[in-house]
Each structure stands twice: as structure tokens, then as C-alpha cells.
Chain A
Amino acid sequence: MALFVVFQTTFFLTLLSLRTYQSEVLAERLPLTPVSLKVSTNSIHQSLHLQWTVHNLPYHQELKMVFQIQISRIETSNVVWVGNYSTTVKWNQVLHWSWESELPLECATHFVRIKSVIDDASFPEPNFWSNWSSWEEVSVQDYLGRGTLFVFPKDKLVEEGSNVTICYVSRNIQNNVSCYLEGKQIHGEQLDPHVTAFNLNSVPFIRNRGTNIYCEASQGNVSKGIEGIVLFVSKVLEEPKDFSCESQDFKTLHCTWDPGTDTALGWSKQPSQSYTLFESFSGEKKLCTHKNWCNWQITQDSQEMYNFTLIAENYLRKRSVNILFNLTHRVYLMNPFSVNFENVNATNAIMTWKVHSMRNNFTYLCQIELHGEGKMMQYDVSINVNGEYFLSELEPATEYMARVRCADASHFWKWTEWSGQNFTTLEAAPSEAPDVWRSVNSEPGNHTVTLFWKPLSKLHANGKILFYNVVVENLDKPSRSELRSFPAPANSTKLILDRCSYQICVTANNSVGASPASIIVISADPENKEVEEERIAGTEGGFSLSWKPQPGDVIGYVVDWCDHPQDVLQWKNVGPNTTSTVISTDAFRPGVRYDFRIYGLSTKRIACLLEKKTGYSQELAPSDNPHVLVDMLTSHSFTLSWKDYSTESQPGFIQGYHVYLKSKARQCHPRFQKAVLSDGSECCKYKIDNPEEKALIVDNLKPESFYEFFVTPFTSAGEGPNATFTKVTTPDEHSSMLIRILLPMVFCVLLIMIVCYLKSQWIKETCYPDIPDPYKSSILSLIKFKENPHLTIMNVSDCIPDAIEVVSKPEGTKIQLLGTRKSLTETELTKPNYLYLLPTEKNHSGPGPCICFENFTYNQAASDAGSCGHVPVPPKAPPSMLGLMTSPENVLKALEKNYMNSLGEVPAGETSLNYVSQLASPMSGDKDSLPTNPVEPPHCSEYKMQMAVPLRLALPPPTENSSLSSITLLDPGEHYR
């Protein structure tokens, strides 16, 4: 027994020791060190790919292990990354692991080492890390090839907002390398003498052809090479929005979505994102060819539920959205069709339409919209196949547009598009009486009534108004009424009514019937009520009017006015309980005066004028200034007056006038105030507050002073327009005195002159008669001076000459003769003609008195004759001449010689007129014969009108006889005119 116990104890101890040994052996062999570490590179993805194995793993045993990996850059001590990788390791398994470097692998040598530890529950603690594997060096620079400058990474594709590290490798450290991003130089971190890295944070999307980054190597100013990369920055792929699917026919599902931004890049670097539809119940997938829609064929009628996933994908990212739906809840019907209207009348119609049939017992919900007269009505109706709806309460003669859309009534998903049609209801009789008003002009014996009416609104016309009927009924003689018809669009008529009361009914008529009548009564009494006009102030919005209510019953009030400038009568009806209204219309113009008349309408429909109002919607400043007259100008005052200025026709109520006065004096006159004009000049101003006061006496002025004045009216809106000042100069003080003296003197002189003119004949005869009085002649004094007692003055009345001879006096005659006339020219004066009074007696040797005077009346004829007639002058003096010559030499002694010389010098052809005196000579009957038998001269000689005788006619052939003085007057009518 003891032996058994010992044996048993020994066995257990042995077993225990064996177990202990086994554990110790395993512990000695572990940790399992990674071996055969190999590192490869992928330049495109900038990744290191590691692969290794774990030796000493028990056969067919799996152990969970943790591998710690350390990566250094440039040198082993520069560890840039340490990390653990946990995995289950099998016997003889090759392990793989990748690491992506942010720095392009070409830019630096990388070193990798690895160690491991068992992390398996079957192995109790403690576990120990294995030793590090040896460093594995990875360098890509050796494979760069020829060249001195390289930039990495080549043509990298990144998403917008990424951080990118680029670097260059310059094999010649003598070169100075500058790098540029989109033309701007960038600065980086030098990793070693050959390599510099640049960190670009959050790179933006610039263009789909890529962002150009280049480095240029140079020595001095000499470029040694240029190298670059294109960094393709893609926009971030967005999740598709508004993804939905629906069916119109239960055969095809039409799926749509909003794709968002297109992420395509140039140079085929990245195409547009692709879209794929995946249905999870059926497990089918479809690559969509369009970027925003895709059609899915429904193959199984039994499938009602669909779970779609839309996957958007590009080289960098994948996005997806999901929808789950029941097919019957996604029914988008086809549009309704055959929309029609039946039984259309004035107020209702039946609308019909059809829908495309989907399935049996399918119920449609349809919505109807009715548009007309600016209003919209909406109705919902549920139908099966054919739709019908009764449209009521329509307006007559109105065009409507009705449209319908439908949806699945069971599971509303979406309305169809609208399907619509227009229709027009029929006409009906006008529903309202036209609005009528009148203006009455009372004249003796009759009224002229102008009737106005407004066209009915479309709402009340119920169709096209064709004509208006006006029935005029004499209320005093009810049997007499008259119907007049006016075709539309007439809106007024003029009626001449006698002094009776009349009722006027106006109706509007369309093709269906007449409107209710509008009644107005014209009373027999004329509207002669005097109503005072009240001024009101309007605003831009209109005029606010109020009035006292009319005593007694009224059915309403009417306010009428005239629109300017059209002068169209306008009116507004106001209810009986209202005594104020606002007249507002766009027709009101600023600066125009509007006159409002307010009438009350009695129950008998007679209008009675209650009040008158006048005002402006907006008063304006006066448009013109008055024409000012200056009166009573004295040295100290003058009066300004503008009586012609009309205050009524102004664009505002004239409130008064401003009189501006300028003078050299700095002080203003009393009553004037200083004012500054718009041009900055100073003047004196006087304000007249009464618009009817249109004169002003400006006094206290200085004589001989210069003043300027300007008168302008003003309204509440301001003064009239600027105008030039009128200049006035006050006169001298003495000048008025002079005028007081001079004016009467001038008047007197003028009076005398007028009197003289009127009495000129008398004065002439008195002062300087044509035939001078010998008694008053100076010759008389001469004669008296000679004291010849035999000489007497013959009275003109004593001498009866019967012939006058006119003889041209040759030039050079110096004798001054009497009776010169101003009308003669000097040349004529040098050839005076003389009239000789020839004695009729043969014996005229006696001292018969004879008067010689010049008669210029004939000078013209004489001068004329000088050119056309040869008047023979006898070489010897004619008897008359002789007689004259033989006249007492003591009378005309001084003249004689001249006369003789003159005669002797008269050449042949000199003018000579022989005249026959027209003095009354009853005794001389034979004019042809020489007056050989002179009659006894009467006591008085009358000098009568003398007549010129043309020589051509009057003169006989130049015979000796004809040379005598007596010549027959052939044509008495040829006298001098």
C-alpha cells in the first residue's frame, strides 16, 4: 500500500515536472519572430507593401498575434510611423500589410522593421514581444532614370480639400530650384540636400484639367530644366438627392434623382461619376446610362415591395441612397384627356374628361380648377374611368378655362399634369340699371338736359351691350312719352324739354334683353338756386367732401365735377345716410381747379343742388406774372397797377402779390421789407394780401432816381416765375413845372395855327392878295416921290383889258417881279413870262394906265413850247408892245431898256404865248379880227381864269397878221389844270 502511494506520488510528481518542462520549452521558443520581411512599393498609390512569415509556429495551429511595424524615413532613427497589426497566423502563412505614405516614395528612402507578440488566450500570460526584425530599406530614387530634376507625385488624383505633399528631387545640388503652384512660388521643407517637400493643405478645385505645379532648376539666370506635375483635384462626390421611383403603367419604374456636381476631370483622369441601381429583393443590378434617371423593368407581377439602392461612384468615393416602397403607392397616372364641355348656358356647364385605365376597380381622385374673371375655383371629384362635373354659378357671357388633373385615390402619390380647355357661357339680360346723371341748362321756355350714363361693368352687362333706350315721359301730361334708342357705345344724349316735369328712364340692352331702368326726374322749376362756392383743399389722393344733409327724405346724393382737360362730366353716387365722401381719381392733375357740385336726390328722384366746392388737388405756384403798368410817375412816386391780371385762371388760389423794389438806397421804404432774391441780390419787398388789390402806390421816392420793380403773385405753393425787373426813373422836380407852362403854350400855338389855317383865305386876301392893290404898292410912293401930278393910279376896275399877251422873257432878266411862287424852279424863274395888258384902243399913245405883272401859271406851257413851236416874234414890236413901250417912260424907265433888250434878244423859236383875256368883253364879237375897234373900257376890270392855248393849235400860220396879239381860243376845255 505504501509502495502504491509512493508510486502514485512519484507519478504525479513526474507528470507535474513534465508539464512544467513542456511549458518551459514553449516559453523558450516564444515569442515568434517575423522573418522573411520583404517590402515592395506602389508609386501610384504611394504605398509600401510588406510581406513576411512567422517561423516556429506549431503545425496546424492558429495563433492570434500582434505585429508592431515601425517605419523610418531617410534614416532608421527617423521613425515616422509605428503601428500594430493584429491577425490570426497559421502555420507557414505569408502575411501582407500595406502602408500609404503621405510623402511620395520617390522622395525619400524608407526603412521598415517588424516585431510580434502572441495575443492568444490559449497562452497564459505573460507574453513577450519578439525581437525586431532587421531594418528593410526601400529606395525608389535609384530607378528614376536620367535627369537632374524630378517632381512627385506624378499626376495624382485627390479630392477637393485633401492635404497633399509634393516633393522634388534635384540631383545637382548646384542648381537653384524654385517651385510654382498656379504661377505662384511655393516654399517647402528640405528633407535632405537633394529633396524638398511641400505640404499643400486643403487643395482647392481649380479646373478639371488639373492644377499645374512645376519646379525650375537654374544656375544664376540660366534655366537648367523644368519639371512639373499636374495635380488633379476632383470635386467631392455628392450623395444623389431626391431619389424616387414611380410607375405610370405597372410595367416600368422610372427612377429619378438629382446628381449634384459632375466630378469628371480632363485628360481622362476621371470620368463622370457612374450610377448603379440595385434592388435588394430581387438582387438585380442595373448600370444607369443617364446621370439623373434610370428605367427599371418590372418583371414579376407579384412583387409589390421594392428596395432600391442608388450608388454613385467615381475613382475616389462611393455614395449611395436607399428607398423602400410599395409599387402601388408610387403610381403616377398619365394625363387626363378628352376634356369637353356640354350643355353650356349662361350660368352653368357640364365638364367631362377621361383617364387612362390602370387596373380594374381603380379609383381616381381628380381635381378641377375653373379660372374666369380673375378668380379661381377648385373642386375635387372621385371617378372611375370617365369624369364628369357640373359647373354651376357661372357668370354669363364669360370665358372660362377649366382644367383637370388626377391621382390615385387609394394611395395618393402625385398629381398628373393639368389637361384643360376653354369655354364661354352664354349671354343673359343685363342685371343692373345703368348709372345715369344729367346736367340741366335752363333757358327761357325750355330746359336743355344732357343725359350721361356709364357703361355697365362686365359683371352686370352679362354680354355685349348693343344699345341704350331712353324713355322720356312728360309727368304733367302722362299720355305723352317718347322712346329714343342709342347704339352702344353711346354714353350721353342731349334733350330739349319744355317747362314741364319729365321722367327719364334709361335701360341698357344686349342680345338677350334689357336691364332694369334707371330713372331720373327733371322738375319743371329751373335750377336757379344760388349756392355759395366754398374753397376746399385737395390732396394727391383726391378731394374730401362733406356737406350738410338735405332736409327731408333723400334717396341719395350725387357729387359731380368735370375732368380736365377732357371736360367730361363725372359723378359719384353717395348713399342717403352719408354726408361726406372722398373723390379720388387718377385724372386729377396738379394745378387744375375742380368744381364740385353736390346734389341731393329726393324720393321723387329730383336732384337739388346743395353745395358747391372748388379746389385744387395740388396747388402750384402761379404760372405767369401780371403785366404791370406804371402810372402817375412823379418825381416822388409812381403807381403800379395790374388790373388785367386774372386770379381765377391760375394753378392755385392767388393769395396776394409780392412787389419787389430795387433802388440804390440801402434802406427800404416804409412798408417794404428787405428780401434776398434767388440770385442772392438784395431788394425790398412789399406783400399785398388781398388778391383783388391790383395796384400799389410806391411813394417817398427821390427825384431823378433809378428804380426797378417786379410784381409776382403767390399761392400757397409759392410765387410766380422769376422775371426781369422793370426799370423806372423818377423825373426831375422842375420838369413837371416846365411841362405845366410849356403844354399850355404849345396848345395855344397850335390853336392859332389851326385858326390861321382855317382862315387862310381871309388872311391871304387881307394880307397878301393875288392881285396887289396898287394903292398899297411901293410904286405909288415912287410916283408920288417924282411928284408927277399927271400920273394917277388906275383902278383895276377901271381897266378892261381884252387881251393878254405872254412873252417869254429871255434869260438874264434881272427884274424882280411880283408874285413869285415857290413851286417854280430857278430855271423857270430865269424865263419869266409876262402878261401884258393890251389896250384895245388903237390909239394908245396916251398915258393910259397899264399894269404889268408876272403870271407864272403859264410858265410851264411856255417852256414846253420852247421846244416844239416857233412862235414868230415880229422884228418890230407889236402894237401892244409898242404901246407899252411908249407908255410913259417915267413910269417904267428902269424897265424899258431891259424890255427892249429882251425883246431884241428873243431868238426865233423862243417861247411866246399869246393869250386872250377872258375878261368879260361883250363888245368884242369878232375874236379873229384884231381889236381895231376897242370898246369903251368899263370901269372895272375883272380878272378871270386864264386859259392856256396850245401853240400848235392856237397859233395861225406865221403871217404878219397873226403876229398880232389877239388869238382865238379854240378849245375852252384845254385850260390849265
Chain B
Amino acid sequence: MDLRAGDSWGMLACLCTVLWHLPAVPALNRTGDPGPGPSIQKTYDLTRYLEHQLRSLAGTYLNYLGPPFNEPDFNPPRLGAETLPRATVNLEVWQSLNDKLRLTQNYEAYSHLLCYLRGLNRQAATAELRRSLAHFCTSLQGLLGSIAGVMAALGYPLPQPLPGTEPTWTPGPAHSDFLQKMDDFWLLKELQTWLWRSAKDFNRLKKKMQPPAAAITLHLGAHGF
């Protein structure tokens, strides 16, 4: 058989594909429920991805708002934007939270933020910015689903929104345009902090849910490595 360079690349790609899908082969997997580990990992990865995505989006959007919002040292006191969920929390308080509370807070925060973000999308004047915002909203929706999945895997119930407290974006003269811009600024800033905080949370949870070393050995052995 005539083996050429292209063939060897193809074989390599095939081998990689097989190795990639090896953990997905049921016969090679551990029998039984894999537990919340994979879904926590996926949620963690998604959080990091969103962090990266937000960096680019925030730059574009703050430029769109104009100065002083796009100035790197602009750090106004947070006087408005009261309805936005705050990501900053006292360290001790944060450490005292259990997994369920952390997950619940994450879920609630992203539910709110997603809603405000959609309002942001409506105001954006340029098509490119609208596209970027829509893409980010989709990703954030995915993160919300992932958190719900983790909570379900751990047996925690999803928080139910209280009737009448559903956050809605309401355009109108209630806010001045400057305050609206300020709200947008704080929305992006809170999103950034929340994503950073969530990455920490999921990393912590991931480590906590990691099986003992012996189990890993046994698992690898079952894979035939």
C-alpha cells in the first residue's frame, strides 16, 4: 500500500479522534453515573470562555458609549444601578457560603444580568455591536443552563423567581441618558466580576468533587491505558 504524507496525517487525525472520543465510549467508561464532575468542568470552561469574550465585547461597547466610560481609569462610585446584582461580597461571607448557596446566587445573578443584557442589545445602534451582544447573550444563556445542570446533578432545586420581581428592561424617561450609560457601564463591570467569581466557585467545586486518586487509577486501568 502506498502511504503518502497526507495519509499519515489522516491516520494521525483519526488516532486523535479516537483518543478524543475514548472517554465517550460507554463500554470504556465507568459503569454508572459519572457524577457532577464533567458538568462542573464544562461550566468552569464556559465561564472562562465568557470572561474572554466579555473582554472584547466590553471594549467595543464602552467605546460606543464614549468617554469617560471607555477611559481605563474611570472608576465612578456606584450610586445608580441599584437593581444589578452585586458580585462583590465580603471574603468571609463568601467563604461561609455552602455550595448550594453559591450556585443559587450564581444562577440568580446571571438570570438578572442576562435580562439587562438583552436590554442593552436593544439600544445598540450598530449592527456589529448588536451581533456581538446577541452572541454573548446566547453564551450566557448556555452558562445559565450549565449552572442549572450542575445544581440538578448535585440535587439542588432551582431558585424560583418571585412573582412580580422578574427583572424587565423598561425603556423610558425614568433614567437620563447619562444614567443609562452609567447603568450599562456597571452592567458590564458586574458581569466581569461575576464571571471571575464564578470561575473561582466552579474551580473550587470541581476540586471538591474530584474523585480520590485511587479511583482515578482504577478508572484509567479500565480504559486500558
Binding site for B on A (CB under 8 A): 151, 154-155, 180, 182-183, 206-212, 214, 216, 223-230, 232, 266-267, 269
7 closest A-B pairs (Cβ-Cβ)? A230-B177, A228-B178, A183-B67, A226-B76, A155-B177, A266-B125, A154-B176
Chain B residues with CB under 8 A of A225: 77, 79
| 11 more A-B residue pairs beyond the given contacts A183-B67, A212-B69, A224-B77, with a C-beta to C-beta distance below 8 A | A154-B177, A180-B68, A207-B66, A209-B64, A212-B178, A225-B79, A226-B76, A226-B77, A229-B178, A230-B177, A230-B181
Find out whether the CB atom of A230 lies under 8 angstroms from the CB atom of B178. Answer: yes
Chain A residues with CB under 8 A of B76: 216, 223, 226
Find out whether the CB atom of A209 lies under 8 angstroms from the CB atom of B79. Answer: no
Contact with A along B37-70 (1 / 0, CB 8 A): 0000000000000000000000000001111110
CA A225 to CA B76, docked complex, whole Å: 8
Max chain B Cβ within 10 angstroms of own Cβ: one of A151, A209, A210 = A209
CA A223 to CA B178, docked complex, whole Å: 18
Find out whether the CB atom of A155 lies under 8 angstroms from the CB atom of B176. Answer: yes
Q: Is B92 on the interface with A (CB-CB < 8 A)?
A: no
Chain B residues with CB under 8 A of A182: 66-67
CA A228 to CA B54, docked complex, whole Å: 26
Find out whether the CB atom of A183 lies under 8 angstroms from the CB atom of B68. Answer: yes
Chain A residues with CB under 8 A of B178: 151, 155, 212, 214, 227-230
- Nearest-neighbour CB distance to chain B for A182, whole angstroms, equals 5
The majority secondary structure among interface residues of chain A is strand
Can you pick out 19 interface pairs between chain A and chain B where the beta carbons lie within 8 Å of each other?
Answer: A182-B66, A183-B67, A183-B71, A206-B66, A207-B66, A209-B66, A209-B125, A212-B69, A212-B178, A214-B178, A216-B76, A223-B77, A226-B79, A226-B182, A229-B177, A229-B178, A232-B177, A266-B125, A267-B123
- Nearest-neighbour CB distance to chain A for B75, whole angstroms, equals 9
User: Which of B71, B79, B180 is close to A267, meaning CB atoms less than 8 Å apart?
Assistant: B180
Find out whether the CB atom of A209 lies under 8 angstroms from the CB atom of B77. Answer: no
Closest B-chain residue to A152, C-beta based? B176
Chain A residues with CB under 8 A of B180: 267
Closest B-chain residue to A218, C-beta based? B77
> Using a Cβ–Cβ cut-off of 8 Å, how many residues does chain B contribute to the interface with A?
18
Chain A residues with CB under 8 A of B79: 225-226
- Nearest-neighbour CB distance to chain A for B116, whole angstroms, equals 16
CA A211 to CA B67, docked complex, whole Å: 8
CA A267 to CA B65, docked complex, whole Å: 10
Closest B-chain residue to A225, C-beta based? B79
Closest B-chain residue to A184, C-beta based? B67
Find out whether the CB atom of B77 lies under 8 angstroms from the CB atom of A212. Answer: no
- Nearest-neighbour CB distance to chain B for A729, whole angstroms, equals 68
Residues facing A in B206-224 (CB within 8 A) are: none
- Nearest-neighbour CB distance to chain B for A184, whole angstroms, equals 9
Find out whether the CB atom of B177 lies under 8 angstroms from the CB atom of A267. Answer: yes
User: Which of B64, B65, B67, B176 is close to A229, meaning CB atoms less than 8 Å apart?
Assistant: B176
Find out whether the CB atom of A211 lies under 8 angstroms from the CB atom of B66. Answer: yes
Chain B residues with CB under 8 A of A267: 123, 125, 177, 180
- Nearest-neighbour CB distance to chain A for B93, whole angstroms, equals 25
- Nearest-neighbour CB distance to chain B for A873, whole angstroms, equals 87
- Nearest-neighbour CB distance to chain A for B186, whole angstroms, equals 12
Chain A residues with CB under 8 A of B67: 182-183, 212
CA A230 to CA B179, docked complex, whole Å: 9
Closest A-chain residue to B68, C-beta based? A183
Chain A residues with CB under 8 A of B123: 266-267
CA A227 to CA B181, docked complex, whole Å: 11
Chain A residues with CB under 8 A of B77: 223-226
- Nearest-neighbour CB distance to chain A for B204, whole angstroms, equals 34
- Nearest-neighbour CB distance to chain B for A146, whole angstroms, equals 11
CA A210 to CA B176, docked complex, whole Å: 12
Chain B residues with CB under 8 A of A214: 68, 178
Find out whether the CB atom of A209 lies under 8 angstroms from the CB atom of B65. Answer: yes
Chain A residues with CB under 8 A of B182: 226, 228
CA A232 to CA B66, docked complex, whole Å: 12
Closest B-chain residue to A229, C-beta based? B178
- Nearest-neighbour CB distance to chain B for A157, whole angstroms, equals 10
CA A214 to CA B176, docked complex, whole Å: 12
CA A229 to CA B79, docked complex, whole Å: 15
- Nearest-neighbour CB distance to chain A for B155, whole angstroms, equals 45
CA A199 to CA B123, docked complex, whole Å: 30
Contact with A along B176-207 (1 / 0, CB 8 A): 11101110000000000000000000000000
